[in-house]
Amino acid sequence: MSSYPDTEQTVDTVVDLQALHAGMLLQRLRSRITQMPSCCWNASPHMFVRFSVPVDELVSCAASDVPKPIYWLMQFPTVPRIYWRDRLGIHEYAGVGITHCIQGCSTSVPSLVRYVHYCTGNAPDHVRYYGGMRFYTCNPVLSDTVWSAVPDAAFTMPLLEFEYNDHDACVVHCTVMLQQGQSLSAARHKAAEQLEHLERHVSLAHNTVVCSDIQQTAVMSRVNAPEHHDWRRNVRVALREIESGRIEKVVLARRATMLCRKMLDPLRLLHQLMPYSQHTTAFLLSLTSDAAMIGTTPEMLYKRSGNIITTEAIAGTRRRGSTPSDDERMSQELYTSAKDRREHAAVQRYVAAVLDEITESFTIGSVDVLQLAHLQHLYAECSGKLRPEIDDAAIIARLHPTPAVGGLPRPPALSLLERIEGFDRGWYAAPVGWLNAHAAEFAVAIRSALVAERCVHAFSGAGIVAGSEPETEWQEIEMKITPILSALYNR
């Protein structure tokens, strides 16, 4: 799989080289668009045409210089961009620009998802819409300007998409949308025009106002919502609700907002997080040029291939040890912790109940410890065969929010969150991913941040159950944003 340089200086050197490669690729792609193989499909009243070619047919370079998707994307800092790398590191996708965007309010998520299915019903398997939605699927009680540049729910098909596999083979797809009945020559002409537009962005990329060097961003201030004393109060309120028997678990979250001296490229920040991304899904969703959601999340909501679904139960947290023996001690402490096992069991029961509703049969694996770069969690994989009437919209409605990010029972736990949490979660802890009529992959947007203007809003949460202690939980949510803080404060 792709490796990433360890220093910002190395990144700058590579990116300068990739700027040349990106411009060359776009020029050659545009010049060869009339000869490139294509596929087309209809979704009335639209027709989609996709041109595809291996990157190495357009740009020849030494193996060490083969462009990686994160480097391609750095050439388009003012263009909507998408990045997705699955948790196993097998598949990596990067998208630039927008061919088709479907968006709406929180309550319209089922219709948006089903419209994506309609638009891809006759499409090749490699056509994907990327996107996500707000945490609250109803109209939120809390809202603020932090999320003003982000739609409530949106899925987009990129204009240009790079598709990698674990052998570093790369295919580039260029997709255009036309009115049904237009000719293939019209599609080639439209593709050439839009690629020429992207070329101009490549040539202007180094003149953008976005700060390309994380080391120059200089954090000027930090504000937490809630602050420490309010967090402690919220935990005590939650514990009283648990003691009363009204809820079993609730996941309280916090937003830490860092104001930087300059605007920064969210892709650069994501790159800085890559050393912490072991066994996580890494993503960037920048559906507008004004804001981007980034993250390296350990939690998969579900994967679907045809009618087979895979999901998981994940809960409980410990840091990784500083030595092998310390690491083993922390792992065993997590595995045998009564508090953490109760928290994980609650998630496991929830997932089993959902799978019982939506599948004809399912299995739940044994509990194990999922070890990440600096944290570890209790984990169990689950899979099943979907009932014929169940689609992605139904899966999302049943699974989200899981007890790992909301609580149990779900209605009273969410009601408590809306009452005491004190900030708008937006897309934090919500489903993000890609889908088409044939398959889907959604992660839960934890270990995530929203980058907008000069601000980085980093989110983290902790599961509150009987036995939780306010100060311990505060230390946990601080630990979970350590990678972002390390990148921003140059630690």
Helix (H, G, I), strand (E, B) or coil at 77: coil
Confidence category of residue 326, pLDDT binned at 50, 70, 90: very high
Q: What is the mean pLDDT of residues 118-132?
A: 96
Give yes or no for residue 208 having a pLDDT over 60: no
Confidence category of residue 13, pLDDT binned at 50, 70, 90: very low
Rounded to whole angstroms, the Cα distance separating 38 from 174 reads: 9
299, 312, 343, 473: the active-site residue: 299
Where residue 454 falls (left for φ over 0; alpha for ψ -120 to 50; beta otherwise) is alpha
Output the DSSP codes for 30-64: HHTTTTS-EEEEEETTEEEEEEEEEGGGT----GG
Q: How many CA atoms lie within 13 A of 221 on its CB side?
A: 3
User: How much of the chain is in helix, strand and coil states, percent to nearest 5?
Assistant: 35, 30, 30
Q: What is the mean pLDDT of residues 272-277?
A: 86
Give yes or no for residue 165 having a pLDDT over 80: no
**Residue 264 carries which DSSP code?**
B
Asked if 310 contacts 381 with a C-beta cutoff of 8 angstroms, the reply is: yes
190, 249, 303, 480: the active-site residue: 249
**pLDDT score for 10:** 38
Rounded to whole angstroms, the Cα distance separating 13 from 343 reads: 46
**pLDDT score for 169:** 72
Confidence category of residue 167, pLDDT binned at 50, 70, 90: low
Q: Which two tokens stand for residue 37?
A: 């193989």
Give yes or no for residue 17 having a pLDDT over 50: no
Angle, helices 228-244/470-480, rounded to nearest 10 degrees: 120
Q: What is the mean pLDDT of residues 359-373?
A: 92
Output the DSSP codes for 285-325: EESSSSEEEEEEES-EEEEEETTEEEEEEEEEEEEPPSSHH
Residues 6 or more apart in contact with residue 415 via CB below 8 angstroms: none
Extents of the domains making up the chain = 8-207, 214-488
Helix (H, G, I), strand (E, B) or coil at 106: helix
Percent of the residues in the chain that have a pLDDT greater than 70, as a whole number:
89
Written out in words, the top-level CATH class of the domain with range 214-488 is alpha beta
Instruction: Give the residue among 160, 209, 237 at the shortest CA–CA distance from 407.
Output: 237
Asked if 244 contacts 452 with a C-beta cutoff of 8 angstroms, the reply is: no
Enter the pTM of the model: 0.91
Q: Which two tokens stand for residue 446?
A: 């934890």
**pLDDT score for 354:** 95
Residues β-bridged to residue 105: none
Helix (H, G, I), strand (E, B) or coil at 257: strand
**pLDDT score for 206:** 53
Q: Which helix (H) or strand (E) holds 23?
A: helix 8-31
- What are the tens digits of pLDDT across the range 33-60? 888 888 999 999 999 999 998 877 777 5
Give yes or no for residue 192 having a pLDDT over 50: yes
Q: How many CA atoms lie within 13 A of 324 on its CB side?
A: 0
Average pLDDT, the chain: 87
Q: Is 299 a catalytic residue?
A: yes
Q: How many CA atoms lie within 13 A of 82 on its CB side?
A: 29
